[in-house]
Structure 1
Amino acid sequence: MDLDLRKLRYFVAVADRLHFGRAAEDLHIAQPVLSRQIRALEQELGATLFTRNSHGAALTDAGRQLLDDAGPLLASAHAVRRRVSLAAHGGQRLVVGFRAGIPVIPAAREFEARHPDVVVDVQRLEWDDQAPMLLDGRVDVGYVRLPIDETGLRLTPLYTEPLMVVLPAGHRLAGKEEVTEADLAGEPLVWHADASTQPTRRPHPDSGLRVRGVEEKLEHVAAGRGISFVGRSETVFYTRPDISYVPIPDLAPEQIYLAMAAARTSPMADDFFAAAQATAEITAECGNYEMWQRANDAVSKRG
């Protein structure tokens, strides 16, 4: 029997809330209807997904497994609807996502030379929406920075780039040729909300300043509230007088990958993958301003 996506959405709502009544309110359906749908899904799968308790509900092992698999599956279905809707309105478009500092133009020009009838749009990605935007179809392919939840994604390595520490302009280490991790011992951190994305000294979940985007990160550093880390390419596009970027060579370099939904079959996206791989060296060089200018010249000549 085919898996009913509506029942799957109902299951995810209950799994998120762990309460049938509150999930029914979110879904705008009656609780008995929701309970019947979940029981029907359990019968179809031949597994118990929830156990009820005095506080609401708890996931079984089977329920936890289904929740892990449900996200990419529902996102893929949403992406199909999105692409069909776009196709119905005519024209061909490829949406390329990118993290801060990663230039899309080298691969886009290479791709457009092969597909002059396709419009390449770009979409900024943050650390926490890289995977969701690829899975639900808002982005066709994306330049991502590791770590990323790889579930449901196809990943291809492109290049690495050195990490830089971001310091307030008046910091004791600002302007140094390079620093070590030991030099930064005791410094407060400005970090992404997911501590696993930090390249060094994993902060305690309740400590430090948590941010989402690079602009917010730089504002806190400039105000003297902590230090942070960025890839070298980000320093090219975010120069300002109140912060200082210093190389920190004893940290592992940041890894740049190209990603798309694994379930998607798209010759057009595959061609962009090929263009990105062909121009990876040029894109990597954009982490230095002078090389960025030369890279743009090189891409123009190739086009």
Structure 2
Amino acid sequence: MNADLDLRKLRYFVAVADTLSFGRAAEQLRIAQPVLSRQIRALEQELGTQLFVRDTRGTELTDNGRLLRAEVQPLLASAAAVRRRVAIAARGEDVFTVGFMPGLTVTGAVRTFRRGAPEVDVRVMRTGWEDQVAVLHDGRADVSYLREPFDGAEVRTVFLHDEPRVVMLPSDHPLAGTDQVTMGDLGSEELLQDPAAVPEWSGSAPSRRAGDGSAKRRSRTVEEKLELVAGGAGVAILPLSTARFYRRLDVRFVAVTDLAPTAVHIAWEASRASARIAAFVDAARADVAPL
């Protein structure tokens, strides 16, 4: 890719690629559609290839367009990260941000880190399964606590600990009063989260309902999952610490004996190396406590 490519053109390209509509992309970008079309043509000329096919049926990506869409995101995220860090420095702020998944407690590591760097403004931000790694790439966080599975490309990680996963059931569910269940016991249930977050779900029983039904009611946050579970819409698989943190009377969690534990890691962007990141990683490792 040409190092002189205009990031603005690439953002315009992403908007069209994701909407497959020059009109909708122009609305999102708040620019005139003819301007957007000219910018895309200019990008195609710079790259020497056609990125979109437009006909009476609509707009489609070419093979090279799909390749660019896959390749461009890290570049845009890196640019966003640089802008954020420079903006913080320009304001005279000394900030270190820690991302963490629901259920994880980072207080101990933050306190240890602050003792060694009292001048630093340490901030924390809650992440989710979809953005736990993205916050590193786009600069929203300096380090992030990750739960498997995650995309480890372009990040460095240090393993912290394992923790069991449990199934969340409505309190009146026939299995809610048991001490433990197996994946087979859950064969008729609907999973209320992205199946990619629980690879074993579809792998252990191809007939499981983790597609059509759950896709319509798939939830992003723990709170949404538990509301749906309590209402009898399906079940959710969560780490034990998350289940304990979000206790409620109308939902019960039960151990799943044949579901492997999930691993927790501390991670940072591979291209970044600093004494502060190393110090926080050491603090995180020292803060590991048994569940």
Q: Normalising to structure 2: TM-score of the pair?
A: 0.86
Secondary structure in structure 2 of the residue aligned to 1:44: helix
The answer (yes or no) to whether the contact 1:72–1:152 under 8 Å persists in 2 is no
Deviations 1:42-77 (A, max 9, x none): 232233222332233322222112111222211221
RMSD: 2.3
Match of 1:162 in 2: 164
The answer (yes or no) to whether the contact 1:134–1:260 under 8 Å persists in 2 is yes
The answer (yes or no) to whether the contact 2:168–2:238 under 8 Å persists in 1 is yes
What aligned pairs does 1:20-35 form with structure 2 within 5 A after superposition? 20-35=22-37
Greater shift in the superposed pair: 250-259 or 171-180? 171-180
Query: Does the alignment pair 1:215 with 2:223?
Result: yes
Distance 1:128 1:216 in 2: 15
Runs of at least 5 residues in structure 2 that lack an aligned partner in the other structure:
203-208
**Count of residues paired in the alignment:** 281
Deviations 1:102-148 (A, max 9, x none): 11122212322321221221111122232333322222211122223
Report the AA paired with residue 111 of structure 1: F
Report the AA paired with residue 211 of structure 1: S
Runs of at least 5 residues in structure 1 that lack an aligned partner in the other structure:
288-303
What aligned pairs does 1:93-172 form with structure 2 within 5 A after superposition? 93-172=95-174
Query: Does the alignment pair 1:245 with 2:247?
Result: no
Instruction: Compute the displacement of 1:100 (Å).
Output: 0.9
Secondary structure in structure 2 of the residue aligned to 1:158: strand
Instruction: Compute the displacement of 1:95 (Å).
Output: 1.1
Greater shift in the superposed pair: 259-268 or 206-215? 259-268
Distance 2:68 2:84 in 1: 24
Report the AA paired with residue 246 of structure 2: Y
Match of 1:231 in 2: 239
Match of 2:196 in 1: 196
Q: Normalising to structure 1: TM-score of the pair?
A: 0.83
Report the AA paired with residue 235 of structure 1: A
Distance 1:274 1:47 in 2: 48
What aligned pairs does 1:269-288 form with structure 2 within 5 A after superposition? 269-279=277-287, 281-282=288-289, 285=290, 287=291
Instruction: Compute the displacement of 1:151 (Å).
Output: 4.6
Distance 2:190 2:24 in 1: 40
Q: Calculate percent identity across the aligned residue pairs.
A: 51
Instruction: Label 1:7 to 1:182 Cα distance change in 2 as closer, same or farther (>3 A).
Output: same
Instruction: Compute the displacement of 1:265 (Å).
Output: 4.4
Deviations 1:127-184 (A, max 9, x none): 2232333322222211122223445443433222111122222332224332212222
Instruction: Label 1:63 to 1:6 Cα distance change in 2 as closer, same or farther (>3 A).
Output: same
Match of 2:45 in 1: 43
Distance 1:27 1:219 in 2: 35
Distance 2:242 2:223 in 1: 11
Report the AA paired with residue 213 of structure 2: S
The answer (yes or no) to whether the contact 1:162–1:249 under 8 Å persists in 2 is no
Instruction: Label 1:178 to 1:28 Cα distance change in 2 as closer, same or farther (>3 A).
Output: closer
Distance 1:248 1:201 in 2: 12
Instruction: Compute the displacement of 1:89 (Å).
Output: 1.9
Instruction: Compute the displacement of 1:245 (Å).
Output: 1.8
Secondary structure in structure 2 of the residue aligned to 1:201: helix
